Amino acid sequence: MWISGHSSGKNVPAAKGRPGGFTLVEILVVIAVIGILAALLFPSVKKAISSGNCAKCIGQMRQIGSAMQAYCNDNQGQLPRKNSPIWDMQIMKYLDQSGYNFEGVPSSGLSTSVPLSAAKIFKCPADNGARPAGFYPRSYSIMDWTFNFAGNYSQDLPADTPVRLQQLQAPSRSGVLVECPAPAPASGPTGNLLGHGNYYAGRALYNWSEIHGKKSNILFADWHVETVPQRPGETGAQFAGRYGPPESWIARNNPPTP
């Protein structure tokens, strides 16, 4: 095919057009580049998601801390008890205004048939542990020193009786809640459920929480939250002992009211 040139008037051959689309080699190169970029970005994205979940978890624990503080204000400084009703049910009225009688929750856990707006506050967004259907999950457990469970914490303090905030000599270093989403032997296969009474964190802590990458959020008795790392080779019991107050930090001249 010949076309007429506009400037010289001479006939010149037309340039051959390039075939449309991409070659197989070009497509493979693009796929390889995308794969490399994805591999480079994935750790950063995963880390960002993990950091976001940890930050959200801290915010939830602070809300729980505010509810606990309000509970203490209304109960002569006493921390929530382990049971009768369960500690999470004791503070629920400060988090949920549904009017439901949370003191009547059975020890098997709070059924999801009860509409509860505050349920999400008790589950860390990074906690993907299996739970039985029909119950709300809970990622946080109360430390057993707060009520001297079965007298195991101190024989000099009343057993199964709440400790008062006024007794603490170092509330900023006394852990109240820790993350324990894994099942405990005392609670059987049900795991950590909202309203379930047989799950607590103590000197015989059951399973270390790794949902924040070998780290755990802890709510302290002055109501601040810290993200603390697991030490190499540290057991759950050692972890609980490290962040639970020693007996010497609790005054005995101000026993809680039974």
| 241 contact partners, CB below 8 Å, separation of at least 6 | 203
Cβ proximity of 39 and 32 under 8 Å:
no
> Over the stretch 79-115, which tens digit does the pLDDT of each residue have?
987 667 888 999 999 999 888 888 888 777 889 998 8
- What pLDDT is recorded for position 44? 62
Mean pLDDT of 203-212: 55
Strand order of the β-sheet with 140-142 is 140-142, 175-179, 215-220, 225-229
Which of the pair, 58 or 228, is modelled with greater confidence?
A: 58
How much of the chain, in percent, has pLDDT values that exceed 90?
27
Size of the chain in residues:
258
Q: Which residue, 166, 165, 256, 180, is CA-closest to 216?
A: 180
Instruction: Report the range of poorest mean pLDDT among 4-8, 40-44, 216-220, 248-252.
Output: 4-8
Whole-angstrom Cα Rg for the chain = 29
Q: How far is CA 58 from the centre of its chain?
A: 7
Which of the pair, 12 or 171, is modelled with greater confidence?
A: 171
> Over the stretch 37-73, which tens digit does the pLDDT of each residue have?
777 766 666 666 678 889 999 999 999 999 999 999 9
**pTM, full prediction:** 0.77
- What pLDDT is recorded for position 249? 84
d(CA 238, CA 129): 23
Q: Give the chain's mean pLDDT.
A: 79
Which pair of tokens denotes residue 111?
A: 């059924």
d(CA 15, CA 25): 25
Whether residue 205 is predicted with pLDDT greater than 70 in this model: the reply is no
Whether residue 201 is predicted with pLDDT greater than 70 in this model: the reply is no
Highest-pLDDT range among 39-53, 86-100, 129-143, 177-191: 86-100
